[in-house]
A and B are shown apart, each in its own frame.
Chain A
Amino acid sequence: MPFITDDANMLNDWLVAGPAAALDNTSEAAPRTARLLGEVLCLWRDAAGAPQCRLGTQPLAVQARHGYLWVCPSGQPARPLFDFPEYGQPGRRIIDCGGIGVAVSGLRVIENFLDMAHFPFVHGGILGQMPHTEVAAYQVQVDSVTGEIWATDCRFWQPRASAAHGSGSEVIYKYRVMQPLTAMLYKSSSRAGELDAIGLFLQPLDDEHVIAHTLLACYDDTSTDAELIAFQHAIFGQDKPILENHAFKRMPLEGRAETPTRGDTSSVTYRRWLRERGMRFGVRQAA
């Protein structure tokens, strides 16, 4: 098998390979290329409108869902692609915020996405503010049917929780990890009683590089697309140098190289969840 890893967690799963809209005006003769696990894939839409993918002359399994293209390198997915019921809900705006390259293991990016403790320090004035630094206790569970991680009852005081929020408020969060490199965040919407959904889908280029695709499924009657995207990019741009400055680009899962604390319950669960599935891709091997 080609690809730079033999980790079944990658090969036997659906991996994102860019937005589905990128296949507009493509054909087998004029495909779009996408990098995945050290290879360059060709992707196009056939005459019937179905996505197609190949690596060299080898066809690969591909599907278009939730606005993105998903490729299974081995063609033998261990489970179906996760559900995203909010994607089609009437009234929600669906906005592809584009892919941003990040030079670090994707596992680091997901772990950072799950972390609330850094908000006042990295996203001061937006997602957090001194001295509101406390992470209140929250619940983390692994769903026995889907195997997904869910962190619930998360609360954090935020000066400006989204492009639509004009002033500070205590914001309710729910996090969901569907795959090692995909996660979802649900947070209080500017529409009362609703939760906006933000998907983070990582396209793995190699063990230390990903393209981070962000998708909004939100309620917002006033902001322009450019304003909503600018908000997400401003946040992600603040995280990026911190992610890329990790002393180990790959995540250590064994030993005592890095010790999470109680505020990091999501991180503890995520790392254990990765260990239990024998994750090796993007992982720093113990010395």
Chain B
Amino acid sequence: MIRLYDYALSGNCFKVRQMLAWLGLGYQSVPVDFHPGREHKSTGFLARVNPLGQLPVIDDNGFVLRDAQAILVYLASKYDTESRWYPADPQLRGQVAMWLAIADQITRTASAARLHDVFGYEAIDVQACRRGAHEVFRLLDDHLAERASDGFRWLAGPHATVADLACFPYVALAGEGGISLDEHPALRSWAWDFRHLPGFIGMSGIFAASPA
């Protein structure tokens, strides 16, 4: 049984919950008191679960892996027999890896602005984070607009992959960090399409397109 160290309002944890749902894998959620308890920074958690003090972490029958993007790659590689979510084609795989790195940049900017506004992380320079988020969103928006003109809706390849999943939640939650998507129309349209994918589970703050 897979265990997921989880927090309900974490977009990075959502990525893993959604991947597990799409792969049809059951799991045991271990709720971590991220806020206000900061349990992910406690000595016990650092020693036993993740020395980086971050969520999510999975434990797949003793194999422990941290980092949302790494977990998506692992789960898709191990359990997606059709190699749909993490394509085997070398060029596609290279492009997916590039967008996984961009997802990290979204976490450092858009997610950080949300930590400031929602969870009271006062030490974060929220203006710098919002500027940084708009920069990376512009990059995504341009890419998606170009893809759309070629008849494609997703970041890499003909269908949604872990690249889209990794970039999605903190785009969808950007408003909670005071970041408007009004100036990124292709990105908004992509997030809309993503929410309408079959089996989309949503999270608190991101509604599933149709009631469960």
A residues contacting B by CB (< 8 A) are 19, 33, 96-101, 103, 124-125, 130, 211, 224-227, 229-230, 233-238, 240-241, 244
Q: Does B20 contact A (CB under 8 A)?
A: no
- B37 in contact with A233 (CB, 8 Å): no
Query: Of B37, B203, B212, which is in contact with the most chain A CB atoms at under 10 Å from its CB?
Result: B37
Q: Does B35 contact A (CB under 8 A)?
A: yes
Q: Does B101 contact A (CB under 8 A)?
A: no
Q: Mark B1-36, 1 if CB is under 8 A from A, else 0.
A: 000001111000000000000000000000111011
- Bound-state CA distance A101–B33 (Å) is 17
Q: Does B74 contact A (CB under 8 A)?
A: no
Q: Total number of A-B contacts with CB less than 8 angstroms?
A: 69
- From A100, A124, A130, contact of B118 by CB (8 A): A100
Q: Does B62 contact A (CB under 8 A)?
A: no
- From B7, B175, B204, contact of A244 by CB (8 A): B175
Total interface residues in chain B, CB < 8 Å: 25
- A238 in contact with B212 (CB, 8 Å): no
Within 8 A of A (CB), among B171-212: 175-176, 178, 203-205, 207, 211-212
A234: chain B residues within 8 A (beta carbon)? 8-9, 204
- From A97, A211, A237, contact of B205 by CB (8 A): A237
- B205 in contact with A98 (CB, 8 Å): no
Q: Sample 11 A-B pairs with CB under 8 A, ordered by A number.
A: A19-B36, A33-B122, A124-B211, A125-B212, A226-B33, A229-B36, A230-B6, A237-B9, A237-B205, A240-B205, A241-B176
A192 to chain B, nearest CB (A): 26
Q: 14 new A-B pairs (CB below 8 Å) besides A226-B39, A230-B7, A234-B8?
A: A19-B36, A99-B120, A100-B35, A101-B117, A101-B120, A226-B32, A226-B33, A226-B37, A229-B33, A233-B9, A233-B35, A238-B205, A240-B118, A240-B204
- B8 in contact with A230 (CB, 8 Å): yes
- B36 in contact with A96 (CB, 8 Å): yes
- From A19, A227, A241, A244, contact of B31 by CB (8 A): A227
